[in-house]
Amino acid sequence: MRILLVASAFNSLTQRIHTELRDRGHRVGVELALGDDLLRARVAQFEPDLILAPMLTTAIPEDIWSEHTVLIVHPGPKGDRGPSSLDWAIGEGAAEWGVTVLQAVAEMDAGPIWASEPFAVGPHGKSQLYRNEVSDAAVRAVLLAVERFADGRFTPEPLDYDRPDVRGRLRPYHSQQYRRIDWSADDTATVLRKLRAADSQPGVLDELFGREFFVHGGHNEDRLRGYPGTIVATRDGAICRATIDGAVWLPQLRPRRTPGGPVTFKRPAADALGPDLLAGVPEVGVTPFEAASRDTWSELRYREHGEVGYLEFAFAGGAMSTGQCRRLLAAYRQACERPVDVLVLGPDRDFFSNGIHLNVIEAADDPAEESWHNINAMNDLVEAILTTTDKLVIAAVAGNAAAGGVMLALAADEVWCRESAVLNPHYRLMGLHGSEYWTYTLPRRVGAEQADRLTRETMPVGARAAGRLGLVDRVVSGGPVEFWGRVRGEAEALAAAPELADRLVAKKQRRAADEAAKPLAAYRDYELAQMRQNFYGEHEPYHRLRRNFVHKVRPQATPTHLLA
């Protein structure tokens, strides 16, 4: 079928549904909701059999939904209505929620129901839940609805609040009045629930040192304590704030925009506050090994099961600043010193990596110079993985990856990818040539022709398609828990296999042969020469594109690479 996706942004869920539908042979177009007339023109040009809205914050014009079947993906169970469904679910501690695919009608979220799928709500932030459980349920519901539409015999179910399975209701916008934290009265569980319900947008409006900030993210702290509301520690850019019965870590802050002032954006909390305000607040570090056995915030954790080491990393939004890259490199080198033959790299359940940290770069006094430091720190990390010849290194891609984050995974010997992950192995949308040794790792996996296509077309690649291309080695089904269960079982089987010693010998020989044919330094020098021009050259688009991305500037029309 010809299916047109209409979305307010080409976000993670829209990309996921795009890859799933294309994988099943549908002709899929994309139109961003940037104006009714633009949408009408696109519908007339594309002539869709079905219009699908995976993520939409505005209404579809009546003349479109009255002439075409338009299905809306709503992140709530049957009967749920309103713009803050997940916020209410998390804020009220729901154990189960759902995704419903319903037909567009005049009244928002009130159309007949084509499919509905439940999912469990765990102790995670809204954005993590959205990219995992919500995304998986949405794909199941969308594929069922598309199948029913194609069959032509299904009659959608009218919304009827008298039905026992219709548990939702109309809810108002989850404004800051519901999110406000009272540090003198709210216990840690309440604080965390409010923070999780607002992550990553809009954040919780709060006051620190007489200034207003939106707080993004929240994690429990098991040991540190202090007077409620005070900042008791910092760690790797995050701040720890005491509650009445414990403390929570706050990784990111965004200053509240003043009337007429510039648009603000998320930054590491300690950077947003600055050293003067945090004078006297201790930096309380934790090693990756210690963090693995504690209930505290850490971007890095290291644990061992049998003959396998697991280095977990989790960076907000998948972005990796210069400092984060260097800390991960130090942890990697420490892991390489451990007496294990197999080393698994990857986060517990969310983004693998999205490459350099554009927000930190945007906030730097010299963004070009910080970009240069950041890409070199990424390269140092990738080079360390590529030159590890005494261990089998596995990249466990539990969530989405893009740009340099994909190339970070490709540095490993094997890439194991959860079936719901979406990969964007390209840089051009940010005006960059790219580095991280991609001119070495990408062609050796998929061939020169496919490498050129992937970087030139700049479209997302689903996990199954990535497996067929050779971009990843294994595609693992199930949610994050099932994924890691499979990863641990298969990694430990590899570590115990008698042929592992021969594989490591062959790996060392292959690296030596590749180095003799063309040194890694040559790839790095070539890539960095292009990147230096991107960062420092006149009339380069990178700085404008980065600024637009960080400040969330809406395009005037749907980008041409999305037009099918």
- The answer to whether 208 and 181 are in contact (CB under 8 A) is no
Which pLDDT score, from 0 to 100, does residue 563 have? 83
Q: The dihedral of CA 348, 349, 354, 359: what is its sign?
A: negative
Please count the other Cβ atoms lying within 10 Å of the Cβ belonging to residue 414.
Answer: 18
Residue 279 burial (CB count, 10 A): 7
Partners of residue 51 on adjacent β-strands:
4, 70
Distance CA 300, CA 227 (A): 28
State how far the Cα of 209 lies from the Cα of 276, in Å rounded to an integer.
11
Element (H, E) at 294: none
Angstrom distances, CA of residue 501 to CA of 128, 342, 492, 495, 536: 38, 11, 14, 9, 46
* Per-residue model confidence (pLDDT) at position 261: 87
- 412 by DSSP, 3-state: which? coil
SS3 37: helix
**Token representation of residue 242:** 């005491």
- Catalogue all structural domains in the chain, each as residue range(s) with its CATH number: 2-151 (3.40.50.170), 185-278 (3.10.25.10), 299-480+492-549 (3.90.226.10)
pLDDT at 564: 65
Q: Which helix (H) or strand (E) holds 151?
A: helix 135-151
Residue 306's region, left for phi above 0, alpha for psi from -120 to 50, else beta, is left
Look at residue 260 in the predicted model and tell me its pLDDT. 87
Long-range Cβ contact pairs of 483-490 (< 8 A, separation 24 or more)? 483/396, 483/398, 483/418, 484/348, 484/396, 484/398, 487/344, 487/394, 487/396, 487/416, 488/305, 488/308, 488/310, 490/416
Tell me how far CA of residue 340 lies from CA of 84, 202, 332, 499, in angstroms: 47, 43, 13, 15
Q: Are 297 and 238 in contact, with CB atoms under 8 Å apart?
A: yes
The encoded tokens of residue 229 equal 């509301």
Measured distance CA(417)–CA(517) in Å, rounded: 30
| Locus of tokens 């539409």 | 149
Tens digit of pLDDT at every position of the chain (564 positions) = 999 999 999 999 999 999 999 999 999 999 999 999 999 999 999 999 999 999 999 999 999 999 999 999 999 999 999 999 999 999 999 999 999 999 999 999 999 999 999 999 999 999 999 999 999 999 999 999 999 999 999 999 999 999 999 999 999 999 999 999 999 999 999 999 999 999 989 999 999 999 999 999 999 999 999 999 999 999 999 999 999 999 999 999 999 998 888 889 999 999 999 999 999 999 999 999 999 999 999 999 999 999 999 999 999 999 999 999 999 999 999 999 999 999 999 999 999 999 999 999 999 999 999 999 999 999 999 999 999 999 999 999 999 999 999 999 999 999 999 999 999 999 999 999 999 999 999 999 999 999 999 999 999 999 999 999 999 999 999 999 999 999 999 999 999 999 999 999 999 999 999 999 999 999 999 999 999 999 999 999 999 999 999 999 999 999 999 986
Please list, in sequence order, all residues whose beta carbon lies within 8 angstroms of the beta carbon of residue 425, skipping any fewer than 6 positions away. Answer: 402, 403, 406, 407, 438, 442, 454, 455, 461, 471
Distance (Å, whole) CA 461 – CA 473: 14
3-class secondary structure, 322: helix
H-type alpha helices, 208-282 = 269-273
Residue 38's pLDDT is 97
